[in-house]
Amino acid sequence: DAGITQSPRHKVTETGTPVTLRCHQTENHRYMYWYRQDPGHGLRLIHYSYGVKDTDKGEVSDGYSVSRSKTEDFLLTLESATSSQTSVYFCATGGDTGELFFGEGSRLTVL
Amino acid sequence: AQSVTQLDSHVSVSEGTPVLLRCNYSSSYSPSLFWYVQHPNKGLQLLLKYTSAATLVKGINGFEAEFKKSETSFHLTKPSAHMSDAAEYFCVVSWGNFNKFYFGSGTKLNVKP
């Protein structure tokens, strides 16, 4: 257990509203990732971070932004949520050890 | 471009029979390879990983996988399925220095009594 906490775990919001998901880790891992999981697509990388204030885009980054001001926290923001962003979002940490550690997921529904 | 293909979206076996979940990857570079398992409404848990040591890798819960470079495959096997193995399994590949991971689309394993 890499001590990864995601919040909120469930959220329902309306189209056009901003949403922020938080990932908190207690293991001091350098790398942090945000993925979304949709049926038939596996997990797709949204953004990742390789250090404080160092982030990069993944394969599905449009409509999302991230911030990492502290080693332990990685925030994912949807500036203006759309129905296509309804998904389950997973935070993961790791990389240096050659494996990923996952949070329990955040289920987001955009109406 | 790197890609990971899981050849079966669903696999159904009877309890006590062997399990085979197939994974192929595309790249000319030596990868690191992983299998993760996801039980319903849970996060993903590492089953096993290959990082250029022995080609036959043993993982948790009796699972193992064999890295075959000539076939660019990393199939997951278990000699005897248990009801608790019912879950979704993901093949994951990483190239370079571990900072990017590529996921297959997943295989849902159903275990019949």
pLDDT number for residue A96: 67
pLDDT number for residue B31: 83
Q: Which has the higher per-residue pLDDT, B101 or A26? A: A26
The answer for residues whose C-beta is within 8 angstroms of residue B106's C-beta and 6 or more apart is A42, B6, B9, B38, B88, B89, B90
Would you put residue B65 in left (φ > 0), alpha (ψ -120 to 50) or beta? beta
Tokens of A47: 């953004």
Nearest CB neighbour to B43, from listed A50, A90, A95: A90
Task: Give residue A20's identity as a one-letter amino acid code.
Answer: T
Decide if B103 and A43 are in contact by the 8 Å CB cutoff: yes
- The tens digit of pLDDT for each residue in A51-68 reads 999 999 998 999 999 999
Decide if A99 and B45 are in contact by the 8 Å CB cutoff: no
Number of other residues whose CB lies within 10 A of the CB of residue B75:
18
Chain A residue at shortest CA distance from B10: A40
pLDDT number for residue A42: 85
Whether the Cβ atoms of residue A93 and residue A31 lie closer than 8 Å to each other: yes
Q: Which has the higher per-residue pLDDT, A1 or B46? A: B46
- The tens digit of pLDDT for each residue in B71-102 reads 999 999 999 999 999 999 999 988 766 577 88
Whether the Cβ atoms of residue B47 and residue B35 lie closer than 8 Å to each other: yes
Tokens of B38: 């996801």
Cβ neighbours of A40 in B, within 8 Å: 9, 105
Distance CA B52, CA B54 (A): 7
pLDDT number for residue B29: 75
3-class SS of residue B81: coil
pLDDT number for residue B88: 96
Q: Which has the higher per-residue pLDDT, B31 or A104? A: A104
B13/chain A closest Cα distance in angstroms: 21
The model's confidence at residue A15, banded by pLDDT at 50, 70 and 90, is: very high
Tokens of A28: 């001091």
What backbone torsions phi and psi does residue B17 show, to the nearest 5 degrees?
-100, 165
Which A residues, 58 through 97, put their C-beta within 8 Å of a C-beta on chain B?
Answer: 90, 92, 94-96
Size of interface A-B (CB pairs under 8 A): 55
Cβ neighbours of B42 in A, within 8 Å: 104-105
Distance CA B31, CA B21 (A): 19
pLDDT number for residue A1: 53
Longest dimension (CA), chain A: 39
Instruction: Please give the share of chain A, as a percent, with pLDDT higher than 90.
Output: 83
Query: Could you say which residues of chain B have pLDDT below 50?
Result: none
Mean pLDDT across the stretch A14-34? 95
B113/chain A closest Cα distance in angstroms: 26
Lowest mean pLDDT among A9-23, A94-108, B1-15: A94-108
Does the structure show a pLDDT above 60 at A98? Answer: yes
